């Protein structure tokens, strides 16, 4: 008989694997940006694949013609934006997660602008720890409301789970896309 949680025979304790390396959260450095962009693209690839399935090939080409280039640029811009506060989670001296926080026009509100965790480091609590770190910092600034946005497609389900586990209340919004015929001026 095989234990359903392990390939070990029933009655034998599973042999534990190596413990995951601990992580720290620290302010982002300029030297981190290349790594942050790289793991963010890997983390968001399943999201963009899901969006492509939902939109279909024609709309997807219009909405996300080259998602990797656009997303890489967006991550780098957020990481370099002096109005953002960005932290990274680090394992073995390398960035494996990040969160960016922005204060907007409303002095009573902050926004989690971006968050991502390297797929090789997911499901270790790093995303939740980054959110908790951001919440503590936002709260210490006297702000009582934090918000973020994410997609409703299946690829965003793990993110939604993390946010709801962290105490966010979802407000479903819908974005519609429609391809229109091109009009050519003579």
- Rounded to two decimals, the pTM is 0.83
pLDDT 10s digits, 58-76? 999 999 889 999 999 999 9
Identify the bridge partners of residue 146 per DSSP, sorted by sequence position.
110
Give dist(CA 59, CA 55) in Å, integer: 6
- In terms of CATH, what superfamily is 23-165? Gcn5-related N-acetyltransferase (GNAT) (3.40.630.30)
Give dist(CA 132, CA 138) in Å, integer: 10
Q: What per-residue confidence (pLDDT) applies to 106?
A: 87
* Choice between 6 and 120, residue whose per-residue pLDDT is larger: 120
Q: How does residue 16 score in pLDDT terms, banded at 50, 70 and 90? A: low
Average pLDDT, the chain: 88
Q: How does residue 11 score in pLDDT terms, banded at 50, 70 and 90? A: low
For the chain, domain boundaries:
23-165
71 near 40, Cβ under 8 Å?
yes
Q: What are phi and psi of 103, to 5 degrees?
A: -100, 130
The rounded Cα 87 to chain-centroid distance in angstroms is 13
């Amino acid at each position: 008989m095989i234990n359903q949680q392990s390939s070990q025979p029933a009655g034998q304790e599973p042999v534990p694997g190596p413990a995951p390396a601990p992580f720290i959260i620290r302010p982002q450095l300029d030297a981190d940006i290349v790594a942050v962009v790289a793991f963010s693209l890997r983390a968001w690839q399943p999201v963009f694949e899901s969006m492509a399935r939902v939109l279909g090939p024609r709309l997807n080409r219009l909405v996300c013609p080259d998602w990797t280039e656009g997303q890489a640029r967006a991550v780098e811009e957020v990481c370099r934006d002096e109005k953002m506060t960005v932290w990274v989670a680090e394992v073995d001296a390398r960035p494996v997660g990040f969160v960016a926080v922005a204060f907007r026009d409303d002095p009573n509100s902050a926004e989690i602008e971006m968050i991502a965790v390297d797929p090789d480091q997911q499901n270790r609590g790093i995303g939740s720890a980054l959110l908790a770190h951001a919440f503590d910092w936002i709260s210490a600034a006297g702000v009582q409301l934090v918000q973020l946005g994410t997609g409703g497609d299946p690829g965003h389900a793990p993110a939604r789970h993390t946010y709801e586990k962290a105490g966010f209340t979802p407000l479903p919004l819908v974005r519609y896309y429609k391809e229109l015929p091109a009009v050519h001026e003579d």
